[in-house]
């Protein structure tokens, strides 16, 4: 048995390492996905699945970094220079800001991917304590005296804006409903809110950990998470007679994918959200999938509920924002008379 001289062996090893490193470096792409709070667990699983799929199809490796936070805060971070390749935020208004305030994406971004660029949806449901001691069945029960409602501040929380609009749309759809009755209803609802957290996760903690309130207005995915994982047996979900179709959109950030040369992989990443595997993962993480076949497997998890869309009921995000959440909007009027 002959041995290689040590020096030659080391040289060979070094060369081999350098070649592998060079090959790997040549093909490894890094993506940054800037998202909102409740998608943390979903994208952890999705990123791994996409990396495997990408490797299988192209042979290249892709590393996806995640950033999570309040939706508005995340949009502001991107505008202020966080170089996200893709943005997956809580509502269209925040993605719009990337176009209007940041000039980072085209104004017609929402038309670039199927279903308004929202591969998965959610809705707003009620989370109550087990046994539903206050007998909360629908929106109307939330304004009864003695019912404490937990919802975040719609000025700072994307989720809270969906809550607010869902309440408004329900009140307006009542017999004899109008903008005036809807405003009165929402006003009465906020009279029953004892704590106004700045974000959706904060409200969930107030309700679940601090034991404040009788009902939490929550994303369906947060509510399912709370019921199954945070406090099994302590909470139950109440589905109101009508709610809103919450569409958290996704987009490529044009400016930064062009700068990084990552457009192809970023596009594939977002497309994979619409593929059966991505849809399945979304459903497993409590987001309503768009894919009918995947949805059919999860009908038990996602009960049928009458949903209005923001375009039907409010004429889109820009109009909703101006009428309700901008300075002097309907939300400001609620607290004016205090």
Report if residue 101 touches other proteins, rule: CB under 8 A. yes
Nearer to other proteins, 79 or 307 (CB): 79
Pairing verdict, β 242-246 and 120-129: antiparallel
Structure tokens at 84: 């996200």
Nearer to other proteins, 110 or 151 (CB): 151
The distance of closest approach from Cβ of residue 234 to other proteins in the complex, given in angstroms and rounded to an integer, is 13
Tokens 């030659």 -> residue: 8
Q: Which of 68, 112, 134, 155 touches other proteins by CB under 8 A?
A: 155
Pairing of strands 306-308, 242-246: parallel
87, 97, 125, 215: residue in contact with other proteins (rule CB under 8 A): 97
Stretch that binds other proteins, among 15-23, 61-69, 103-111, 151-159 (CB under 8 A): 151-159
Longest dimension (CA), the chain: 96
- Restricting to residues 105-134, name those near other proteins by CB under 8 A: none
> Minimum distance between the CB of residue 316 and other proteins, rounded to whole angstroms?
17
Phi then psi for residue 289, to 5 deg, are -75, 155
The DSSP line for 184-249 is HHHHHHHHT-----SSHHHHHHHHHTS---SEEEEEHHHHHHIIIIISTTTEEEE--SEEEEE---
How far is it, in rounded angstroms, from Cα 155 to Cα 198? 8
Strand partners, 126: 217, 238
- Taking the C-alpha atoms of residue 307 and residue 170, their distance in angstroms, rounded to an integer, is 10
Q: Which two tokens stand for residue 188?
A: 């009465």
Residue 203 Cβ, how far from other proteins at the closest point, in Å?
11
Kindly state the smallest distance separating residue 60's Cβ from other proteins, in Å: 37
Count the residues of the shown chain that bind other proteins, applying the rule CB under 8 A. 28
| Nearest to other proteins of 42, 325 (CB atom) | 325
By CB under 8 A, is residue 326 in contact with other proteins? Answer: yes
Identified binder of other proteins from the candidate list 33, 118, 151, 153, rule CB under 8 A: 153
Q: Does 197 contact other proteins by CB under 8 A?
A: yes
In angstroms, the CA 96 to CA 75 distance is 9
**28 in contact with other proteins (CB under 8 A):** no
Give the residue with the Cβ less far from other proteins, 288 or 324.
324
Q: Does 332 bind other proteins (CB under 8 A)?
A: yes
Q: How far is the CB of 76 from other proteins (least distance, A)?
A: 7
Q: Is 174 near other proteins (CB under 8 A)?
A: no
- Token pair 């009428």 is found at 323
Q: Pick from 70, 119, 159, 249: which binds other proteins (CB under 8 A)?
A: 70
Under rule CB under 8 A, residue 151 binds other proteins = no
6 CB-contact burial (10 Å; exposed 0-12 / middle 13-18 / buried 19+) = exposed
CA torsion 308-310-312-317 (nearest 10°) is 170
Residues in the chain, total: 338
Judged by CB under 8 A, which of 151, 156, 243, 251 binds other proteins? Answer: 156
For the segment 205-224, give every residue that binds other proteins (CB under 8 A): 209-212
Task: Kindly list the residues in this chain that would bind other proteins in the complex (CB under 8 A).
Answer: 70, 72-73, 76, 79, 97, 101, 153, 155-156, 193-198, 202, 209-212, 325-327, 332, 335-336, 338
């Amino acid at each position: 048995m002959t041995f290689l001289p040590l020096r030659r062996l080391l040289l060979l090893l070094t060369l081999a390492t350098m070649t592998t490193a060079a090959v790997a470096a040549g093909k490894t792409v890094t993506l940054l996905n800037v998202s909102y709070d409740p998608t943390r667990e979903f994208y952890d699983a999705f990123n791994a699945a996409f990396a495997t799929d990408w490797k299988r199809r192209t042979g290249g490796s892709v590393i996806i970094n995640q950033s999570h936070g309040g939706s508005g805060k995340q949009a502001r971070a991107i505008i202020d220079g966080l170089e996200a390749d893709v943005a997956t935020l809580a509502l269209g208004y925040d993605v719009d800001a990337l176009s209007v305030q940041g000039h980072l994406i085209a104004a017609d971004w929402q038309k670039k991917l199927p279903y308004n660029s929202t591969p998965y949806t959610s809705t707003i449901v009620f989370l109550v304590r087990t046994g539903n001691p206050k007998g909360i069945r629908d929106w109307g029960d939330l304004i009864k005296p003695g019912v404490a409602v937990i919802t975040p501040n719609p000025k700072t929380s994307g989720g809270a804006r969906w809550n607010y609009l869902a309440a408004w749309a329900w009140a307006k759809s009542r017999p004899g409903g109008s903008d005036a009755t809807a405003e009165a209803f929402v006003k009465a609802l906020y009279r029953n809110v004892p704590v106004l957290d700045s974000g959706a996760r904060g409200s969930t903690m107030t309700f679940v950990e601090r034991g404040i309130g009788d009902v939490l207005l929550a994303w369906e995915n947060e509510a399912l998470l709370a019921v199954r994982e945070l406090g099994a047996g302590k909470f139950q979900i109440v589905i109101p007679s009508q709610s809103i179709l919450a569409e958290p959109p996704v987009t490529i950030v044009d400016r930064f994918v062009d700068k990084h040369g990552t457009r192809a992989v970023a596009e594939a990443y977002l497309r994979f959200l619409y593929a059966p595997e991505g849809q399945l993962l979304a459903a497993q993480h409590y987001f309503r999938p768009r894919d009918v076949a995947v949805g059919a497997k999860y009908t038990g998890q996602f009960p049928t509920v009458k949903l209005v869309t923001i375009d039907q009921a409010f004429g889109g995000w820009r109009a909703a924002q101006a009428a309700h959440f901008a300075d002097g909007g309907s939300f400001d009027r609620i607290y004016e008379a205090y």
